[in-house]
Structure 1
């Protein structure tokens, strides 16, 4: 990509337990989540001073870079990343780990996150563990009418039925 610099991306992924359960179609404790099961993904965009192409559009603007032969460049990039993680990224991650906050972000179609699934399926996945049963019945009926993937409705109904035992 650039023979004079080390170029890399930084992002974080949120994998709610019900989504992971749907992805692997099993009890979520059998496998550890990884980026393949990301419900939402958010890029950590570098400040211009450490961006690979600071004047470009995304995704090129979102890549971090440093010169590997210059300790000052590596240190500056590392310090910028550490500061951004502490001041913005970790608080944002903690915010999105609360399911109500994540639900709000996906309902608003927050532009800072890339989302999987349709809005209706996201709503079901994020509410399946705690929404009132009558509300879930309406959501599942809407999903059935919308023609969701074949395995999704049986999974959702099993999860809904078994939630009192979790």
Structure 2
């Protein structure tokens, strides 16, 4: 077995499973009752012949953003389960300095974990399990609440929780299913629209029309 897969199986998988995540390969998934997903993924970097270098990143995928991103497949069998391509925000799980590839560098290099096989694999795995259990998992679970996610996206320092959309589009996507229709309509009416954001506005108005009809 690949040493990184051994590390994931021995150290990451148990804490992720205990938190309710399911595993497929090097990816973990937690789905909220409303369909929103939190994903944790491992990605490798072939940058050091003497070490295994990898990133650990979590992705927040609200179902509303996923359905906007893949709206052309909404009523077809091609609409697959949410994945990182529909993330609205992402955040690296930062390694402690002693298991970081370049601990004194800035982003994106500072987020890379590293270990030598077999000398430091166990140390790296132990550090990873602790960071996941004590920091990353509690944060991810909390951010499955859309209001908590919106607040943190709008206030997080640069380089921490990285949003994919503009602040206003993020707000619309995260409020679209829960806030009063009248409030959201006023928000849309007061939004300056550029060509990049126009599809979201059109989609949001259609979604609000459906909500109004159902209510």
Q: TM-score, normalised by structure 1?
A: 0.89
Pairing partner for 1:50 from 91, 99, 102: 99
The alpha-carbon deviation at position 109 of structure 1 amounts to 4.1
The alpha-carbon deviation at position 159 of structure 1 amounts to 1.4
80-89 or 150-159: bigger deviation: 150-159
Find out whether 1:20 has 2:66 as its counterpart.
yes
Distance of 2:139 and 2:172 partners within structure 1: 23
Q: Spell out, residue by residue over 1:76-109, the C-alpha distance to the aligned partner (whole angstroms, 9 max, x if none).
A: 1011101110000000001111111011112224
Q: Spell out, residue by residue over 1:112-154, the C-alpha distance to the aligned partner (whole angstroms, 9 max, x if none).
A: 20101111111110100011122111221133x3235342222
Distance of 2:54 and 2:167 partners within structure 1: 31
Which residue number corresponds to residue 60 of structure 1? 109
Distance of 2:157 and 2:65 partners within structure 1: 19
Q: Is the 8 A contact 2:181 2:211 kept in 1?
A: no
Q: TM-score, normalised by structure 2?
A: 0.70
SS of aligned partner of 1:19? helix
Runs of 4+ displaced beyond 4 Å: none
> As a proportion of its length, which structure holds more strand?
2
> As a proportion of its length, which structure holds more helix?
1
Distance of 1:109 and 1:47 partners within structure 2: 20
The answer for unaligned runs of 5 or more in structure 2 is 1-46
Find out whether 1:141 has 2:189 as its counterpart.
yes
Distance of 2:186 and 2:88 partners within structure 1: 23
The answer for unaligned runs of 5 or more in structure 1 is none
The alpha-carbon deviation at position 110 of structure 1 amounts to 4.4
Q: CA RMSD in A?
A: 2.0
